[in-house]
Amino acid sequence: MRTITFFNNKGGVGKTTLVYHIAWMCAELGQRVLAVDLDPQANLTTMFIEEDRQAMLWPEEGGNSSILSCISPIIDGVGDIAEAPLQHIRPGIHLLPGDLGLSQFEDKLSDSWPRCLDGDKAAFRVITAFYRIIHHAAERVNADIVLMDVGPNLGAINRASLIASDHVVMPLAPGLFSLQGLRNLGPTLLTWRANWRQRLEAKPADLAIPMPMGIMKPAGYVVMQHVERKNRPVKAYQRWVEKIPEVYETYVLGNKGHVADTETEPNRIGFIKNYQSLMPLAEDARKPIFRLTPADGAIGAHAAAVSKCYMDFKHLTQEIIRRTDDAEGRGRK
């Protein structure tokens, strides 16, 4: 079982839509998927679950079936993690729903991080909560792959999420802000990885809980192609695409001075087109774009675009699976 987090500290690049479609495509390819929504905005959950069912998930509506219910005993100081209330989406896909109240956990995670260096058992239970919840949930559904969606920030919730990850995929929309985001994100991942290793050295020997290794290995990036507009020529877009390889090598992989070949760029997993005209149809049908049918309104040119979308996501998903198929690099303490 591998855990992949899709992460970019620049919002609005289509990250959640990407995770949703890759989860469906993984299932199409025979993978058993656990999708985990660790973004306090819970956008992945709203994509997977219709509005009437959403109301039954969250405490505000009398529900108790989200990630928040798993960590509430820790937040309230009355116990450890609770079992994850998973939602069955379709054969091959289960979802651990997100919750708008997840942000309540931020301060607890922040306070616990330095206390791990003192060997504080309670602090380790807090920091590893996401990992342990996901690990147990994945075992329950016999998941081959865990796909995690997180918010666009470098806060304590994301730090705990990334520590629980084997691999990191970075969706990028070519532009100044995405490049600046890479310059911030790369060093942060390196720091989190190193700091977690320090904390593992301080773990009490008698603390018998599963412990993540904090691998968070960069698997590469996905370029989210722009919608062509008159005020944004293709040449300008291409110029930003060509800047990504060097920034990624320097700031994410730590290879300063590396000159990348933009044509054979090994860190680029692929490109995904912005299927803007099909998204409203997919949202209404509550299914991925590549599953749209004529009954959903995908006729004429739309039908051809659906077929192309299927192949785009199939190739992208197969490449992500290939890049993360390194069982020797995964593990826990």
Catalogue all structural domains in the chain, each as residue range(s) with its CATH number. 2-276 (3.40.50.300)
CB-CB neighbours of 186 under 10 Å: 20
Give the separation between CA 171 and CA 52, rounded to whole angstroms: 30
Residue with tokens 């760029």: 265
Residue with tokens 């309104």: 297
In the chain, the amino acid numbered 95 is L
- Yes or no: say if 116 and 199 are a contact pair by the CB < 8 Å rule: yes
How far is residue 66 CA from its own chain's centroid? 17
Contacts of 231 (CB under 8 A, 6+ apart): none
283 has a pLDDT exceeding 60: yes
What confidence tier does 226 reach under pLDDT thresholds 50, 70, 90?
A: low
pLDDT at 230: 52
pLDDT at 331: 47
pLDDT at 198: 98
pLDDT at 11: 75
Give the separation between CA 36 and CA 212, rounded to whole angstroms: 16
263 has a pLDDT exceeding 80: no
Model confidence pLDDT, tens digit, residues 38-82 = 999 999 999 999 888 887 787 665 567 899 999 999 999 999 999
The whole-model pTM stands at 0.93
In this prediction, residues 117-121 reach a mean pLDDT of 97
High-pLDDT (> 70) share of the chain, %:
91
Structure-block tokens of residue 113:
């991080």
177 has a pLDDT exceeding 90: no
Q: Shortest CA distance to 64 belongs to which of 34, 85, 43, 81?
A: 85
